[in-house]
Chains A and B, each alone.
Chain A
Amino acid sequence: AQTVTQSQPEMSVQEAETVTLSCTYDTSESNYYLFWYKQPPSRQMILVIRQEAYKQQNATENRFSVNFQKAAKSFSLKISDSQLGDTAMYFCAFIQGAQKLVFGQGTRLTINP
């Protein structure tokens, strides 16, 4: 069974700093998708970034980028020039095909002014 682990329950950085959230996963599949979701206090689940396992190039979305290490089964999220609005819970998620998706436990990120 697939599992997703986020080893950092909480993180806190100063505004404008760079922060990296870690995520590791376990699967025997070769083709799958990985996601980072942001959940602000409103509780809405917002897609931050998506990575297809068969693509070697790391995905980027503006200030957000990932370091995808397929062999190590690692999928970390880097937030550059962090902003107060980045304060939220961040969830790493895994899905293989259209099958049951699996979430990590979440990392609570606080950006301090």
Chain B
Amino acid sequence: NAGVTQTPKFRILKIGQSMTLQCAQDMNHNYMYWYRQDPGMGLKLIYYSVGAGITDKGEVPNGYNVSRSTTEDFPLRLELAAPSQTSVYFCASSYPGELFFGEGSRLTVL
């Protein structure tokens, strides 16, 4: 099925560990985004990409890295996980006038 696929859906990390959240879309969208959503709050933009090889910082990029080697994939890397990174992470892709969200990845850092 066409759409945005995020993995894993749930993950528990220890402080200082690293991990990568995967995001893939099969709609050939150029624009892709990573958001985080803390409990009871709105979505904050971490990073976004306007096409393969091009990425840019959003509101809250510290502690994260991204890459965009292909149009389809936009992984988010967490380096040296901290409790403040406990959140739900959403990947999204867009086409003019259309937005598509992944189902979210719930990350807990203990």
Contacts and interface: CB of A to CB of B under 8 A. Distances in A.
Instruction: Determine which residue in A35, A95, A98, A105 has the highest number of CB atoms from chain B within 10 A of its CB, and name it.
Output: A98
Given A35-B99, A43-B88, A47-B99, A98 B31 contact: yes
B43 A91 contact: yes
A100 B97 contact: no
Interface residues of A, number: 21
Contacts, number: 49
B96 A105 contact: no
Contacts of B99: 35, 47, 93, 95, 101
Contacts of A104: 42
B97 A44 contact: no
B104 A100 contact: no
A35 to B, nearest CB: 7
B33 A33 contact: no
A33 to B, nearest CB: 4
Q: Give the interface size bracket for B toward A.
A: 20 to 34
A33 B48 contact: no
B22 interface: no
A79 to B, nearest CB: 20
B37 A43 contact: yes
A108 B41 CA distance: 10
Given A50-B97, A104-B42, A105-B42, A44 B104 contact: yes
B103 interface: yes
B104 A43 contact: yes
24 contacts: A35-B99, A43-B37, A44-B101, A45-B101, A45-B104, A91-B43, A93-B99, A95-B94, A95-B97, A95-B99, A97-B96, A98-B29, A98-B30, A98-B31, A98-B94, A99-B31, A100-B31, A100-B33, A100-B48, A101-B33, A103-B35, A103-B43, A106-B41, A108-B40
Given A47-B99, A95-B94, 16 more contacts: A43-B88, A43-B104, A44-B101, A44-B103, A44-B104, A45-B90, A45-B104, A95-B99, A97-B96, A98-B96, A100-B31, A101-B33, A103-B35, A103-B43, A104-B42, A106-B42
